[in-house]
Structure 1
């Protein structure tokens, strides 16, 4: 087993380390979600935390890590003999891969044995392995929604339930949940964000000295991991002792009425939904006091708890920037304190006793000029995905460019789907064969059995019972009798926007309405778990403003800065779309595309622009790309060019007004059907 990087050797990232340590002190806080760019020591910090957790006493042979002092009465490996002496082992850190199956996460039941022998043969999953340890999910935002639901439900209830065709198994699953994510790759749904106790934003330092220290420590660790860890052994032992001391002190910490009022007032002032935020803040403030060695919660503990527990709970849609107004927070706390309470005098230094410098043996360091923000790669900031803004030259000259128009208020759009039945990643847009959804039939399993179709299995086995010598009530089930359920649900698609930013679209009121429509479609794509891409065309060419990504808020940011002006190279935009979709099919052939062209249909510039655009549209139609043309033409005289483009694309044309879900005119869901 490789030597983990010492937690005390991490430099910078105070909030990240504090949030992890607070969860080690009080796992009831509910875990940590770490958001940030790649190369910022997110994974390194989580793995390093494992060495600070106390050893765990377990019952020998129990696959579910039962505590000898209080074994789980419902343990599948139980009942346990109370006379058996426990053994101690280090706390585990279990990693959940992004591509894990449901059975890998929660465990698998042997349905064949359950039917034939009447026994519950259960193979534990990762939730059982993580019991009384850490469950680490890297790129949690890329997990399928149903896996995230199962994961967070188990974290909230402290137990995992596995049910297959009436056979049920339950086991304890209490763990410290840590998820990491890069927001550029997409966001979690707000209701799932709320299930994480704390959140931390991390970023690489831009200070040269700090980055130098990152590289120096990382190179030293890579050259001699054991030797590097030995140099930090004393600091690691001190932090471990401090965690144990805080755990022991935690039951004695008093959360007074004044602190409770400050917590409630803060959650009300920031309009967070539900009561989970209040409870998490109370637990976090209590853990902060214990970490500082106090038995009374101060206002400074409440303030720090709010900074860790509230930012992600205020995010109601993907375009809301995470964060907290600290001035508003201070005003709320001061107002509640001023109304009279039992809070003692605050720390004159203006904050709870935080982690000390590792050289003093007290834990993670305070920020200083010599500290660096991470002990991972030490790489520089990631380039902004999606490419640069279109240059004036590519856009047809700076003299044609107008300042970006503000987008109109987004609205709920009517559903647009790809026709047919797909097999892409689970989502909420188009019909597809999925692992979850309504059962539409049965088939023989290909490889490992997934969801059993019980009725079809019994029907296949029933005619052979006499020949197989059946005796008693149990069925004689053989492997070739097994049938797997065929389910139909919804998939996520690749929604590629091709937006006309030429001079014919440049009227500010008109472009604002166009941006509002695209913003509305982006919001719809976020809710339906799609990937999105953005192509713009104007002047003399087309620009891939946003390569296909799950981060719809990045698409919204690109859209906001979109300049307009110049000629209308419609053919260039369509050809660029064809090239992008060709590459994406090679990367992910199962994710079906939906092309959304936002234009008034005019084509200018170059030779035979209209004919070139028609040929490019027919090329897309021949590739089987489902398409929608959002007709932005306005005014009393309409040429119907967008409708003609939709016919060439073998797609659907809708006006901006028809795009609204509350519009009077009906929108046909099949995007290949003519309007």
Structure 2
């Protein structure tokens, strides 16, 4: 049975196939990030890629896949003789599991030989195995940030350096890094997004005929894999030959001044940060030219490269959707090709680029208005605002059940809210926890593979047994003596928002403040690598608007669409919260939750609504749940119900105006100023 589904048999993923192919033609591009919903053949296509790549020559017996043609190979197994044995093998596809440790990725001291034989020997990791091949990380967005940084550094530098546990090793690590991810499970930080050379968005085809063809081919493959593979054997061989020819040709491709200028114009027009975009686009354009059998870069090469190299570099914050305006791209590129003579049509193109992009640039900037606004749309907007103000006044006076939707404002830096005590969850940046990274606070026996050796504690554990082991000079170590370092760092948490969207919160200004505060906390959760969930309550019940997820941008979208109006079912909201947290303890027991209740504390739905809500709150508080109540009550005369709710929940109480970190800073500064004046 063939190991993988044929690469050429995948339907409807042309952009992904092109991005993967260009990266194998020119590995210096920097790898590919594939973003898409589940069930879109992301993993299938990546695993099939290795089978269509040309085989490589390696030095026989070398653990680091050294190219025998290299004059000064960077291999710890060297130096090599002039007449080394050479073997040819297929390109490796090395899969890096999400739960891999740094030791497994980089390699480390061979523990068994070090303890039993006293020999310091380096045990290669996954980076060594992936040299001159493909390193594949499924669900790369769930991989620890420091490991993603490590992979991208190695891919960019072409080598891996290990300095740990008495090991000092450097070896070549040139590979094509391919990461796949489902955005619904969380995003990569913009800094990490930028480090991937190319990115592709994939989605299931919407055309019924295409979907039928996908199903037909998959069923045929499962029914008879050998026969199905034989059907595409010729296509696979043709693809292999074409890739091999492009790999030989890419170094001969000429990036003319015209091509470099066009690439610079495109990157500048899309306002990407830094120069990495220009370099990657140039390399991808050269690879695209070689893929098409040419030694000069044309307009179509630059266009194809920009479509893959720029979308993920235009994000300014985690709530910006990646993408590129292809109409603007065509406008910048114009219709010209490299001029055969200096007196080409350059003048006309410059005029086009100077006059036309002014209309397309403004929509690309967050928060900017179109260059030519629709006056009638403005008039409609003003009348809508008037009607909105009328509805708000009615709700404040009579508590009407009419629904309103307010938009959040620009987020700010919030105060840091943490879970008390010391956890043991996933590495992050919020609450204190025992993690794989951080400062060393102690040692423990080894209970699993991986971890950093605590040398002094290992020696201390072995020392009392040396007489019984017959040693009088050097120490004899055994596996039971090994001690690993216990490190304290920070963990990520589950931030569960429980948001009051009832009529008492429906005043536009108040709901704007509430949504802005939540948006700010979401931004903070994104930076600290938390999961988030969103429960809303209004009318006669509570709804889990967003199940706990790492996708902060989805939470922001749901928040912006959140309506307000109706009664306040506070007790139902707290019961819903208890149910969600109970399920999450089963799904993700190591991740500690932080409940954030955003309300004015009122309860108006059902009999004895307030008493019921306080009763449920007491039960939640008794479980030891870390929680926070943000009081949204405004006005001179306050009922203080949110403060009472916080007492029952045993939660931290924070007025809405004090969520911002600057609010606390202003209070401190004001106090210092008054003290100085006195």
Rounded to whole Å, the distance in 1 between the matches of 2:72 and 2:574 is 62
CA distance in 2 between counterparts of 1:10 and 1:654 reads: 54
Deviation at 1:74, TM superposition (A): 3.9
Deviations 1:251-284 (A, max 9, x none): 1110011111121222222222221111101100
Aligned residues of 2:16 and 2:34 also touching (Cα < 8 A): yes
Secondary structure at 2:162's aligned position in 1?
Answer: strand
Q: What secondary structure, in the 3-state scheme, does the structure 1 residue paired with 2:160 have? A: strand
1:431 — aligned with what?
432
Contact residue 5 and residue 229 of structure 2 kept, 8 A: yes
What's 1:532 paired with?
Answer: 532
Which residue number in structure 2 is paired with residue 446 of structure 1? Answer: 447
Aligned match of 2:404: 403
Q: CA deviation at 1:475?
A: 3.6
Q: How does 1:54-453 map to 2 (within 5 A)?
A: 54-70=54-70, 73-111=73-111, 113-114=113-114, 119-334=119-334, 400-448=401-449, 450-453=451-454
The DSSP-based 3-state class of the residue aligned with 1:400 is: coil
- Equivalent residues in 2 for 1:432-581, closer than 5 Å: 432-448=433-449, 450-462=451-463, 470=471, 474-581=474-581
The count of corresponding residues between Structure 1 and Structure 2 is 616
Q: Deviations over 1:428-459 (max 9, x none)?
A: 10000001100111222224462111222234
How far 1:667 sits from its partner (Å)?
A: 10
Q: SS of the residue aligned with 1:574? A: helix
Shift of the 648–54 alpha-carbon distance from structure 1 to 2, 3 Å rule, reads same
Secondary structure of 1:21's partner?
A: helix
Secondary structure of 2:510's aligned partner: helix
Residues of 1 paired with 2:165 and 2:322: CA distance? 42
Q: Which has the higher contact order (CA 8 A, sep 6+)?
A: 1
Are the equivalent residues in 2 in contact too, given 1:265–1:336 (CA < 8 A)?
no
Match of 2:12, SS state, is coil
| TM-score normalized by the length of structure 2 | 0.87
Question: Aligned partners of 2:411 and 2:122: how far apart in 1?
Answer: 49
Change (3 A) 1:338 1:170: closer
Change (3 A) 1:541 1:449: closer
Say if 2:66 and 2:73, in contact at 8 Å, map to a contact too. Answer: no
Q: 3-state SS of the aligned residue for 1:487? A: strand
TM-score (normalised: structure 1): 0.87
Cα distance, 1:339 vs. partner? 12
3-state DSSP of counterpart to 2:497: strand
Gaps of 5+ in 2: 347-399, 669-678
Secondary structure, aligned partner of 1:436? coil
Q: Give distance in 2, aligned partners of 1:422 and 1:464.
A: 35
CA contact (8 A) 2:97 2:137 kept: yes
Following superposition, the deviation at residue 463 of structure 1 comes to 5.4
Conservation of the 8 A alpha-carbon contact between 1:312 and 1:322: yes
Shift, 1:48, TM fit: 1.7
Query: Do the aligned residues in 1 keep the contact of 2:101 with 2:451 (CA within 8 Å)?
Result: no
Distance apart, 1:619 and its partner CA: 1.4
- Give deviations 1:286-340, integer Å, cap 9, x for gaps: 0111111111111221122111001111113210011012233233333998999
Give CA deviations for 1:552-571 in whole Å, capped at 9, x if unaligned: 11111111111111000111
Structure 1 residue aligned with 2:6: 6
8 Å Cα contact 2:36/2:181 also seen in 1:
yes
Cα distance in 2 for residues equivalent to 1:401 and 1:83 = 85
CA shift for structure 1 position 482: 2.6
The question of whether the paired residues in 2 share the 8 Å contact of 1:35 and 1:182 is answered with yes
Of the structure 1 ranges 521-530 and 294-303, higher mean CA displacement relative to structure 2 is found in 294-303
The structure whose residues are more often helix, as a share, is 2
Q: What is the RMSD computed on CA atoms of the aligned residues?
A: 2.5
